[in-house]
Structure 1
Amino acid sequence: MAAGSVPPRSSTAKLSKTETFRPLASIRPHKLREGVFARAINGNRLTLAVVDLEPNSSVPEHHHENEQLGFILQGSMTFTIGGEARVLHAGDTYEIPGNVPHDAVAGSDGCTAVDVFAPVRADWEKLERPEPFPPDWPR
């Protein structure tokens, strides 16, 4: 291993079998706001989240230190990143550098997106977490 590199998670942390593999539907979602739920798993340095937005729900402008990469699985949303607005559909991707203001409004059919954040979204741990319920994806 090269100097300064980080060993893979498997050599530094032991996961139980139930933590290694989980159906999406079994993950307790974080309620980000009314009509917006994120089912997230955290690694050592990043968060992977499947985010469901109910039809016409919105995420007001905000920013966070985390870099955010994502893509739309189904539905659509109008995403404004750093003042530039685009309507995104299934298969579209986006990139948000840390601390850049952004907001989103789901389309009339709602939206499901996959987001990756680095570093880990530790701030989500204080959010309400309802019991698991069926996600919008997969149908």
Structure 2
Amino acid sequence: MSAFNSLAEMKPLPIWGGILARVCQGREMTFAVAELDAGAVAARHQHVNEQVGLVLQGTCDFEVGGERRQLKVGDTYLIPANTPHEAIAGPQGCVLIDVFAPIRDDWARHEPQEKRAPKWPAP
């Protein structure tokens, strides 16, 4: 197995309705580029993983531990472990980088979809 890959070669995982993630996972962290369709909702949830992220494209309304913000390109977020949070993609959708520690081993239940061109970076 190579240490290198391309987003275009990764099969996206359907994480939530309207939300796909291309995942690069190590032994102790998960790195994902998530694509959210317009208005897609990651309903309020929490997990044992600490999560940090960056908006690459579009906008997203985030709520983390009761604090709500509309994030745009270049904005970051930090979600401590076991903190309730939700996200709703803006009208054009969005693309996010998400990093989790420890790994998102629960994502193994998702069946990868066929390869398709990623929304980011733009062709």
Report the TM-score, using the length of structure 1 for normalisation.
0.86
Shifted more, 20-29 versus 56-65: the winner is 20-29
Count of paired positions: 122
Letter in 2 for 1:30: L
Aligned 1:66-77 pairs, distance under 5 A: 66-77=49-60
Q: Give 1:101's aligned residue.
A: 84
Paired letter, 1:74:
Q
Letter of the structure 1 residue corresponding to residue 3 of structure 2: T
Matches within 5 A, 1:1-139: 16=1, 19-139=2-122
Structure 2 CA distance for aligned equivalents of residues 122 and 98 of structure 1: 15
- Higher helix fraction: Structure 1 or Structure 2? 1
Aligned-residue RMSD, C-alpha: 0.7
How far residue 44 of structure 1 moved from its aligned partner, in angstroms, is 1.2
1:128 Cα deviation after fit: 2.4
DSSP 3-state at the match of 2:48: coil
Tell me the alpha carbon deviations over residues 4-57 of structure 1, each in whole angstroms, 9 at most, x when there is no partner.
xxxxxxxxxxxx3xx311110111111011110010111110000000000111
Letter in 2 for 1:34: G
Structure 1 segments unaligned to the other structure (5+ residues): 1-15
Mapped partners of 1:136, 1:94: distance in 2: 21
What is the distance in 2 between the residues matched to 1:98 and 1:66? 5
Structure 2 gaps, min length 5: none
The alignment-based identity, stated in percent, is 44
1:25 aligned counterpart, secondary structure: helix
Distance across 2 between alignment mates of 1:115 and 1:33? 14
Higher normalized contact order (CA 8 Å, seq sep 6+, divided by chain length):
2
